[in-house]
Structure 1
Amino acid sequence: MDNDTLKNLRPEIRERIMREELGEEKCKILDKYDLHPNGRLYWERIQEKYPVQEYFSHKFAKKTSTLGMIFHIYRLCFAKTKYFENNWEHFV
């Protein structure tokens, strides 16, 4: 679904469609870190005593791996993400 259509949907429907586009494994990451989409299609965490924190766009979430999403949440550089993706078998 295109981004303009997603932006105009109700939040519950928007989140359901966005999660379907990502798949089960990436949804587990979203659940673990309590991330929800905002009106600009960025995944964010809302905590009571802290300001809202945007982590990454939905476009980024669709293109990157699950490991890439985790590294982005922890603000690790793109080079480290690529290194671990390419050499994962050495660490498991």
Structure 2
Amino acid sequence: MKPVGIDRTGRGLLRRRFLGFVFQGFNSTARTSAVENLERRLTYGDISHRERREKALMALVHVGLRARAHHQPSELTGGQQQRVAIARPP
């Protein structure tokens, strides 16, 4: 009898699309702003600087940190740093 559920490929797709990790240290680069930390993940795709900036700013809007976009991690509270980490693109 075959087990019922999602196969290995399906589980991988589920994890990639819907699950993520927020590490305790947030893994932000200390000397870059919140928006630059988000942009960094987008540099690996074929995306213009302007589009990277727009996407990063929109991600900050979604976590309520648009006004803190140009602050470095040391200028953010722990909760704000965590929200920047959550806003990172997959």
Q: Which has the higher contact order (CA 8 A, sep 6+)?
A: 2
Decide which structure has the larger Cα Rg and report it: 2
Scaled to the shorter chain, the TM-score interval is under 0.3
Please, what TM-score do these two structures have when normalized by structure 2? 0.28
